[in-house]
């Protein structure tokens, strides 16, 4: 095989990589890549901080917003969107004590809680007769253990206010269907679809977390906005990715220079080997 076609071996790469020129370039690349990597992590941290600040501002805005009539925000049998979440609304009508479910197995303030959800029938306005599931509050107790043990569990909650009233609360999106096979009067989640099958329609595709009034024996349910998670700031996140891309580019650049250096060395060596020997001087 001709020497000119031999592929560079590990010794060629090692010799080129340990040359003074490549070692100096490697030092520069290591510094640049290290700085870019640290700047990327700094931007990632800022993305989280800015996300938390945005979330806190959103929470404060939703909590401070005045209540508006529900009919101006959401109609029954329509899709619930992100723009509806956490809106403070008011509506008038009556609670139906016969249409009530208990949702066990939740945790509030570090203890097991059972949520109390009651049907609220709207009276008057364009949505007269529509049903809004209302989370009236919660009470403590290991109801889940009693349900798993069986034996005819009897758990009751304070009755809702009677007569026509106005309620104010925050909208939250309907939950997925929860655990099946629970005794009558219990539900695994606050699912508008499941409740519509029991309570009838038209039903709102949301539920209301009640602010007022509060019944004795029930603790106010946490505001739905307290469960929001912060999303990282997209601009800072993009900057973080850019800095990491710069760090990767610096490493790739050094490898490319190393490859070109090895090729150049091999080419010089091939030309030297292929060159004809010098002719002896003529007498």
Per-residue pLDDT at 182? 76
pLDDT digits (tens, 9 = 90+) for 162-190: 899 999 999 999 888 766 677 778 888 89
> Mean pLDDT throughout 96-105?
90
Per-residue pLDDT at 128? 93
> Is residue 277 over pLDDT 70?
no
Per-residue pLDDT at 17? 85
- Please, what is the average pLDDT of the chain? 83
User: Would residue 150 be called left, alpha or beta, if left means φ above 0 and alpha means ψ between -120 and 50 degrees?
Assistant: left
pLDDT band at 90 (very low <50, low <70, confident <90, very high): very high
**228: exposed, middle or buried (Cβ count in 10 Å: 0-12, 13-18, 19+):** middle
Dihedral angle, C-alpha 129, 132, 136, 139, nearest 10 °: 120
- Which comes out higher in pLDDT, residue 53 or 130? 130
Name which of 163, 159, 92 is nearest 129 in CA terms: 92
Cα 113–Cα 117–Cα 119 angle in degrees, nearest 5: 175
Per-residue pLDDT at 131? 95
Per-residue pLDDT at 4? 44
> Mean pLDDT throughout 191-201?
91
pLDDT digits (tens, 9 = 90+) for 13-46: 888 888 888 899 999 999 999 999 998 888 888 8
Per-residue pLDDT at 60? 77
126 φ/ψ angles, rounded to the nearest 5 degrees:
-70, -15
> Is residue 263 over pLDDT 50?
yes
Are the C-beta atoms of residues 36 and 250 closer than 8 Å to each other?
yes
Cβ neighbours of residue 184 under 8 Å, at least 6 residues apart?
Answer: none
> Is residue 208 over pLDDT 70?
yes
**Encoded tokens for 126:** 């364009």
Are the C-beta atoms of residues 126 and 71 closer than 8 Å to each other?
yes
pLDDT digits (tens, 9 = 90+) for 239-248: 889 999 999 9
pLDDT band at 143 (very low <50, low <70, confident <90, very high): low
> Is residue 138 over pLDDT 70?
yes
Per-residue pLDDT at 250? 92
> Mean pLDDT throughout 49-67?
76
Helices (H), the chain: 10-17, 20-64, 143-149, 192-199, 234-274
pLDDT band at 153 (very low <50, low <70, confident <90, very high): low
């Amino acid at each position: 095989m001709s020497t000119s076609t031999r592929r560079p071996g590990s010794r060629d790469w090692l010799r080129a990589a340990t040359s003074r020129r490549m070692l100096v370039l490697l030092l520069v690349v290591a510094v640049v890549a290290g700085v870019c990597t640290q700047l990327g992590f700094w931007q990632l941290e800022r993305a989280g901080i800015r996300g938390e600040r945005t979330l806190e501002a959103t929470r404060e805005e939703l909590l401070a917003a005045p209540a508006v009539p529900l009919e101006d925000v959401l109609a029954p049998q329509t899709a619930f969107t992100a723009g509806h979440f956490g809106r403070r609304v008011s509506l008038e009508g009556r609670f139906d004590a016969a249409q009530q479910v208990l949702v066990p197995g939740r945790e509030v303030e570090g203890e097991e809680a059972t949520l109390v959800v009651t049907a609220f029938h709207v009276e008057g306005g364009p949505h007269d007769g529509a049903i809004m599931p209302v989370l009236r509050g919660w009470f403590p107790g290991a109801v889940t253990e009693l349900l798993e043990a069986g034996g005819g569990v009897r758990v009751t909650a304070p009755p809702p206010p009677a007569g026509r009233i106005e309620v104010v609360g925050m909208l939250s999106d309907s939950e997925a269907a929860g655990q099946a096979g629970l005794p009558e009067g219990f539900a695994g989640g606050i699912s508008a679809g499941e409740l519509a099958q029991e309570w009838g329609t038209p039903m709102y595709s949301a539920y209301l977390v009640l602010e007022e009034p509060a019944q004795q024996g029930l603790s106010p349910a946490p505001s739905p906005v307290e469960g929001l998670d912060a999303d990282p700031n997209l601009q800072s996140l993009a900057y973080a990715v850019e800095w990491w891309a710069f760090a990767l580019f610096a490493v790739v650049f050094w490898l490319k220079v190393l490859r070109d250096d090895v090729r150049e060395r091999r080419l010089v060596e091939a030309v030297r080997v292929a060159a004809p020997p010098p002719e002896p001087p003529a007498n």
